[in-house]
Amino acid sequence: MNGIKKVLAIHDISGIGRCSLTVIIPVLSAMGIQVCPIPTAVLSAHTGYGDFVMRDLTDFMPPALDHYKKLGTKFDCVYSGFLASDAQIDHCLDFFASYPDALKVVDPVMGDDGKAYATYTKELCSRMSELVAVADIITPNLTEAAILLGEEYPTAPLRNSDAKSWLVRLAEKGANIVVITSCPLVDGGMSTIGYDKRTSSFWKIKNDYVPMSYSGSGDMFASVLTGGILKGDSLPIAMNRATSFTELAVKNTYSYGTPWTDGLMFEDQLTWLTGYQELSGFTDL
């Protein structure tokens, strides 16, 4: 027994274009948390590059789980993200069921800006609800929230009452905590909104506007949020920590004018995660 928490992270690894494991591992390590990756696929570059090559690792998942069971390894959290096939939904369900005491985080990665990612089939998107049903925490962006609810992707900002209804309806699908990122609100610009079903509490953090959207931003947000919760943050403090760090990386990246596909330039900023931060940017939704 040592004091370092372990996260079993079920995501892809993409060689170019920071996202998924190339973001999640450094972020959680900087927060003092060990990442044990189960790669769902290896890609030359993330799907935003168009002509990437990909190796689907569906067949690797069940024997890897068997090995961990044999080893008797315990995990504090199981955290899933980008999946390469709908059979991986079944394998993720097996991972979640094998560690009933672990915090179950599902980032229902499916798309962005109203569109599904190139490799995401209709079947994979519809089966994502099965993971959402067993999760403790889910972190969809607005596109993914719309897919899960069977709603049209909103073209106008949401009223607070509609945003609350989206959060509540998503929580009815299973998770106690729902956090929606990149949600435009009538009363607050682009915001991150959260809901804890156990306490009926709603939270909002207004994001500073930057006219660029970088790959891997959702992975960065969800990994800092997960790390914060594992370290004992309340929901609004974890949302605040995750939003502030992501915003810092977005602004740093924007200042260099690099393409959105390169992802967030966060390497020089990881020490932010290790210091004391004043986090008071949250309000009730």
Residues of the shown chain interacting with ligand PXL in the complex, contacts defined by CB under 6 A = 12, 14, 19-20, 43, 46-48, 82, 109, 117, 215-216, 218-219
Q: How wide is the angle at C-alpha 283 spanned by C-alphas 278 and 285, nearest 5°?
A: 150
Distance CA 58, CA 60 (A): 5
Report the residue number, 107 or 196, with the smaller CB distance to ligand PXL: 107
Q: How wide is the angle at C-alpha 106 spanned by C-alphas 101 and 109, nearest 5°?
A: 165
Task: Supply the minimum distance, in Å, between the C-beta of residue 16 and ligand PXL.
Answer: 11
Task: Supply the minimum distance, in Å, between the C-beta of residue 171 and ligand PXL.
Answer: 23
Task: Supply the minimum distance, in Å, between the C-beta of residue 83 and ligand PXL.
Answer: 9
Helix (H) / strand (E) containing 243: helix 235-256
Inter-residue contact 245 to 224 (CB < 8 Å): yes
Report the residue number, 217 or 240, with the smaller CB distance to ligand PXL: 217
Report the residue number, 46 or 241, with the smaller CB distance to ligand PXL: 46
Task: Supply the minimum distance, in Å, between the C-beta of residue 216 and ligand PXL.
Answer: 5
What is residue 229's three-state secondary structure? helix
Helix (H) / strand (E) containing 8: strand 5-16
Report the residue number, 119 or 234, with the smaller CB distance to ligand PXL: 119
Task: Supply the minimum distance, in Å, between the C-beta of residue 35 and ligand PXL.
Answer: 15
Report the residue number, 141 or 203, with the smaller CB distance to ligand PXL: 141
**What are φ and ψ of residue 116, in 5° steps?**
-75, 150
